[in-house]
Amino acid sequence: MPIIIEKLTHTYMPNTISRHIAVDSVDLTINEGEFFGIIGHTGSGKSTLIQHLNGLIQPTSGRVIVDGYDMSDKKQRVKGRALVGMVFQYPDYQLFDSTVLDDVAFGPKNMGLSVEEAKTRAEEAMRTVGLDPEQFAEKSPFELSGGEKRRAALAGIIAMRPKYLVLDEPMAGLDPSGRRGVLETISALRKELGCTVIMVSHSMEDVARSAERIAVMNDSKLYMTGTPDEIFSKTKELIELGLDAPQTARLAQLLRERGVPVPEDIYTNERFTEWFRGRMSNA
Amino acid sequence: MLKDITLGQYVPGDSVLHRLDPRTKILLMIAYIVAVFLVKRVEVFFVVILFTVGVTLLSRMKLSYLVKALKPMKLLLPLMFLMNLFLIKTGRLVFEWWIFKIYTDGVKNAVFIVLRLATLVAGTSLLTLTTTPIALTDGLEKLLTPLKIIKFPAHELAMMITIALRFIPTLIEEADKIMKAQLARGADFESGNVLKRAKALVPVLIPLFVNSFRRADELAMAMESRCYHGGDGRTKMRVYAFKLIDLYAVIAVALLIAAVVLLNRFLPTFLP
């Protein structure tokens, strides 16, 4: 069953001078098993939007329905929330326990699992994200490096075995190898557990590489949705919105403006290289 | 959640009160407190109330702000009133029902205490309503500077207050994010008894503390890299000077104190 977002509007501090509409009547359906990317510049409402997905904040108007559970209803929300795992941007906001293992087991314990079972799940999740339990289980989460912290935080959510995994800027502030590592982990997870991934990012490269469907947020509104092919063929529009397009797409756009006929569906390094090779051998 | 809390009660404006030197305002507030405590008779509070309302109007602040300032005392004031009303047993008996007896002195004292507390809180709130926290700490620093002779760290104290005030909104926002992150992992802050709820806060407080220490470290580094070395030889961007309006303000408060003292002595009694 999908996640259905209907006419979702969220206003911060309503009825005051500083009221601010963060999300404005967004309609969106996220299908089961998808890798769904949400892009938009800072303040476009993407973080606010995804916080509705597991009921952390309530819509000012509209509805969010996760597998048939209405997240506005207090009782249904508990059930819906168990399906949606939410990984926040900064792991520093959630790591707290004395050892990595205990920290990862925090979620499963809250789900009412026994300590034993929670630990088993925690170890499993640590292995999934590439943190060897032998090496990391008894370490303090505060001793970890940035990338390791991110993995530990991710493991803390995965250990709860969510059906939908929501990631808010999972690669922000990581170096290229850390980014690649996290992205690979997410893709592997998807194959292994078959969960739906919803990823918010403003790195177009990351989204272009892995998402199957993309939503573009602009000025609190849903600007467009589509496959990466559909979205990144509109490089010019994206740039006008103040969004970045993937570097390759920008290069292709610049070439097009100078009269080189680069096809519209070229926005990843791999495709560009392929096209360029073909062109070179034809010439 | 926590985001809806507004902090500080400064209301921006350009009134006479806003333009006063913060040092004058701090000192005059102390003088005002003295004036309130000098009042010996209920009737004399009329002058103090008149003064407070007058100053509020002068600050172009709505009178409702004075009422708002009294809000935190909505339990204390009635309690004080009732205790004084029923527990003072001198003067003439004016009312009796079952075990409750009210005497004239009780009534007088009850009204007196409530008026004293109310004028005290409402009047002093004008200081924080018309002065930015920065100006307030600046003024405080200047006023405490003479104490440096006895090695009192005036500048450091002011800097500490400024930094603390600056980071309150940051901390609130961060606490909000941490709470959400733990809620997403199934933490429950709302059910159970007091002990259970306090325990549920541990996963929020630890990241909050860890992040605060890290931030303090980074802030210290950033300040040092900009050559901050404490108060010695440091100049101020805003230089406060004693102006004509400050003099008028001093005269006004002096008149209030004089009026209170004289009325205490010479106002004919018309209360029983």
Are residue B148 and residue B56 in the same domain, yes or no?
Answer: no
Question: Is residue B6 a part of any domain in this protein?
Answer: no
Q: Residue B201 falls within a domain, yes or no?
A: yes
| CA distance to partner chain A, nearest, from residue B13 (Å) | 16
Residue with tokens 């450091």: B156
Residue at B219 is within a domain:
yes
A51 to chain B, any CB pair closer than 8 A? The answer is yes
B121 and B249 assigned to the same domain: yes
- Chain A contact set for B178 (CB, 8 A): 93-94
Do B117 and B144 share a structural domain? no
- The C-alpha of A82 sits at a distance from chain B's nearest C-alpha, in angstroms, of 8
Å between A93 CA and nearest CA of chain B? 5
Could you count the other beta carbons within 10 Å of the beta carbon of residue B57? 12
- Give the mean model confidence (pLDDT) for residues A41-54: 87
Q: Which of B178, B187, B214 sits opposite A93 (nearest CB)?
A: B178
- How close is the nearest chain B Cα to the Cα of A8, in Å? 19
Helix (H, G, I), strand (E, B) or coil at B102: strand
Range A18-43 average pLDDT: 87
Contact (CB<8Å) B180/A95: no
Q: Verify that B253 and B189 share a domain, yes or no.
A: no
B246 and B186 belong to one structural domain? no
> Which own/partner contact pairs does A256-265 have at CB distance under 8 Å and 24+ positions apart?
A264/A233, A265/A229, A265/A232, A265/A233
Of A12, A57, A106, nearest to B185 by CB-CB distance is: A106
- Give domain status of residue B1, yes or no: no
Encode pLDDT of A130-173 as tens digits. 889 999 999 999 889 888 898 899 999 989 988 899 998 888 77
Q: Which residues of A78-107 are buried (b: 16+ CB within 10 A; e: fewer)?
A: eebbbbbbbbbbbbbbbbbbeebbbbbbbb
Q: Which residues lie closer than 8 Å to B214 by C-beta, 6 or more apart? A: A92
A85/B184 CB distance under 8 A: yes
Do B40 and B115 reside in the same domain of the chain? yes
A:B CB pairs within 8 Å: 63
As a dihedral over the C-alpha atoms of residue B246, residue B250, residue B251, residue B255, rounded to 10 degrees, the angle is 150
Q: Is residue B141 in a domain?
A: yes
Do both B16 and B104 map to the same domain? Answer: yes
B93 & B189 share domain: no
The answer to whether position B2 is within a domain reads no
ipTM computed for the complex = 0.82
Question: Given CB atoms, is A58 within the 8 Å cutoff of chain B?
Answer: no
Q: Are residues B252 and B125 in the same domain?
A: yes
Question: Chain A within 8 Å of B60 (Cβ-Cβ)?
Answer: no
B58 with B41, same domain: the answer is yes
Rounded to an integer, what distance in angstroms lies between the CA atom of residue B182 and that of residue B119? 45
pLDDT for res B226: 92
Q: Do residue B245 and residue B121 come from a single domain? A: yes
Q: Considering only residues 136 to 195 of chain B, which have any Cβ-Cβ distance to chain A shorter than 8 Å? A: 174, 177-178, 180-188
Mean pLDDT, range A201-212, rounded to an integer: 81
Supply the pLDDT for residue A27. 92
Structural domain contains residue B3: no
B205: Cα separation from own chain's centroid: 28
Q: Rounded mean pLDDT of A63-91?
A: 87
Q: CB distance from A157 to chain B under 8 Å?
A: yes
Of B181, B178, B201, B206, the C-alpha closest to B190 is B201
- What integer pLDDT is reported at residue A283 of this predicted model? 67
The predicted structure's pLDDT at residue B272: 54
CA distance B193 to chain A (A): 17
Q: φ and ψ at B237, to 5 degrees?
A: -70, -45
Pair A129, A151: CB distance under 8 Å = yes
pTM for the full predicted model: 0.74
Q: Give a yes or no: residue B7 inside a domain.
A: no
* C-alpha distances in Å from residue A18, one per residue of A217, B3, B12, B124: 22, 12, 15, 27
Question: How many domains are there within chain B?
Answer: 2
Q: Is A219 exposed, middle or buried (0-12, 13-18, 19+ CB in 10 A)?
A: middle
Q: pLDDT tens across A83-109, in order?
A: 899 998 888 888 989 999 999 999 999
Q: Which residues of A touch B3 (CB under 8 A)?
A: 12-13
With an 8 Å Cβ cutoff, are B185 and A142 in contact? no
Q: Do B203 and A51 touch (CB under 8 A)?
A: no
Q: What is the mean pLDDT of chain A?
A: 86
A 10 A CB-CB count for B83 gives 14
My answer on whether B33 and B118 are in the same domain is yes
Please list the pLDDT of chain B residue by residue as tens digits (272 residues): 444 444 457 788 888 888 899 999 999 999 999 999 999 888 889 999 999 999 998 888 888 888 888 888 889 999 999 998 888 888 888 888 887 888 888 888 899 999 999 999 888 888 888 888 888 888 988 898 888 888 888 888 888 888 888 888 888 889 988 998 998 888 888 777 888 888 888 999 999 999 999 999 999 999 999 988 887 778 877 788 888 999 999 999 999 999 999 998 887 776 65
For chain B, the residue count is 272
Whole-number Å distance between alpha carbons of B153 and B158: 9
Range of the domain at B113: 12-131+241-272
